[in-house]
Amino acid sequence: MNKIYNPSRSEWDAVLKRPTKTVDDIEDTVNQIFAEVKAKGDAAVAKYTDMFDGIKLENTLATSEEIAAAEAEISEELKSAILLAKKNIEKFHAAQKTEKVEVETTSGVKCWQEKRPIQKIGLYIPGGSAPLFSTILMLAVPAAIAGCKEIILCTPPNKEGKVHPAILYTANLCGVTKVNKIGGIQAIAALTFGTETVPKVYKIFGPGNQFVTVAKQLATRHNVSIDMPAGPSELLVVADDSAKPAYVASDLLSQAEHGGDSQVILVSTSKSFLDEVEVAVEDQLSALPRKAIAEKAIENSKLIYVENNEVALGLINEYGPEHFIISTENNEFYTKGIINAGSVFIGSYTPESAGDYASGTNHTLPTNGYAKQYSGVNLDSFMKSMTFQQISEEGIKSIGPAIELMADAEGLQAHKNAVTLRLKDLS
């Protein structure tokens, strides 16, 4: 791993650079596929599924027979684990419900806010080297709590044209409306424009590789919203000599095995601790089935020494990690001081894996520094806030003159007249 000692603030941008491509690098490819899917629908989707996934599919919809067969393939132990995770995720997200906000701003002027579910949502679930059925729980469960009517799922097929049984089982368990065997850019395009078999949705959720991330960002140009730019996974751990090197190493590798473009970083005030973690990473890495993937991610990763907690916190907030683990003698300093992070994990017995699966928090989080301005997925992600107002005769008399003056000052006479006519009738 790359060791860096006491980088100056002027070096932070270079030190913390992500190994990801930009929109500019991928935009032409995305636009080409988008244009074809918009014009040719399912035929274009089939073309790119064959090209990228190596399978010709006449029908991309998962059938009820496939879903039933998938349930039979899942062990009872895995079903129980999924149900436990689902219960905790439901509990945490149901607690995020808020009541109607209502206030009388002026006598006779009543304003209130209510939330409504987004009617049609699309879920993108990676299914290649790691079938992320856990992400279905993270997205479909709060969507159901919010009251979304249509939940359309896209996930790439394997070389036999099948979807991992755990994905089909979990989708059915969580009330997904349709499961489509479509991956990559073509899946985002299908959800954006709609095809003969894939409904057009209003908002797209879910993580993916760099191509999927850019496709989601460009989808926003076509009257579709997205959860956030959620790209390759990343983790930053801050730890000192009070932490256990083996635990920290396991956390770093848990994210490194996601993909070669993932990034993991350890920040510490102890040089010897960095050395110990480096050794532990090598020891654990050799036993991983996804060693080759993790090794590639480790090449993009950093072990950073800084002199004190204050410098460490400043560097971490500048990075804005997707996942942030705190394992120090002064955890409270970091929990109070962190302002840019997707999700925070505190203490030696809080691995990031807990948030990925079963603690109840959501694992769909902003990456690539977007934690500075985006939240992770939550119940409100699946809802819209609508404002209402009702004004009585007393109310329009009270605020009407102010409206007239302001509209007149902006040169918007029709706005003023809409009030003036009413006030004349009441005089």
> Catalytic: which of 164, 323, 352, 363?
323
Query: Is 119 one of the annotated binding-site residues?
Result: no
Query: Is 390 one of the annotated binding-site residues?
Result: no
Nearest Cα to Cα of residue 8 among 315, 333, 320: 315
List pLDDT tens digits, range 13-44. Answer: 999 998 876 677 789 999 999 999 999 999 99
Query: Is 93 one of the annotated binding-site residues?
Result: no
Q: What is the number of residues in the chain?
A: 427
Nearest Cα to Cα of residue 268 among 221, 308, 325, 220: 308
List pLDDT tens digits, range 149-181. Answer: 999 999 999 999 999 999 999 999 999 999 999
Query: Is 353 one of the annotated binding-site residues?
Result: no
Query: Is 186 one of the annotated binding-site residues?
Result: yes
> Residue 1 and residue 24: Cα distance in Å, rounded?
29
First to last CA, the chain: 79
> Catalytic: which of 257, 276, 278, 322?
322
Query: Is 284 one of the annotated binding-site residues?
Result: no
Residues 6+ apart with CB under 8 A from 282: none
Full-model pTM = 0.93
pLDDT of residue 300: 85
Averages of pLDDT over each 10 residues, the chain, 427 residues: 95 90 82 98 97 93 95 96 98 97 98 98 88 96 98 96 96 98 97 98 92 93 92 93 98 93 96 98 95 92 97 98 98 98 98 97 94 97 98 98 98 98 97
pLDDT of residue 209: 82
> Would you call 323 a catalytic residue per the annotation?
yes
The H-assigned helical ranges of 220-270 are: 245-256
pLDDT of residue 21: 64
Query: Is 233 one of the annotated binding-site residues?
Result: yes
For the sheet with 343-346, list strands across it: 2-5, 302-305, 263-268, 234-239, 323-327, 343-346
Residues 6+ apart with CB under 8 A from 26: 210, 211, 214
> Would you call 93 a catalytic residue per the annotation?
no
DSSP string, 284-352: HHTT-TTHHHHHHHHHT-EEEE-SSHHHHHHHHHHH--SEEEEESTTHHHHHHH--S-SEEEESTT--H
Domains along the sequence of the chain with CATH: 2-18+232-360 (3.40.50.1980), 23-98+117-229 (3.40.50.1980), 392-426 (1.20.5.1300)
Query: Is 410 one of the annotated binding-site residues?
Result: yes
Query: Is 258 one of the annotated binding-site residues?
Result: yes
pLDDT of residue 22: 65
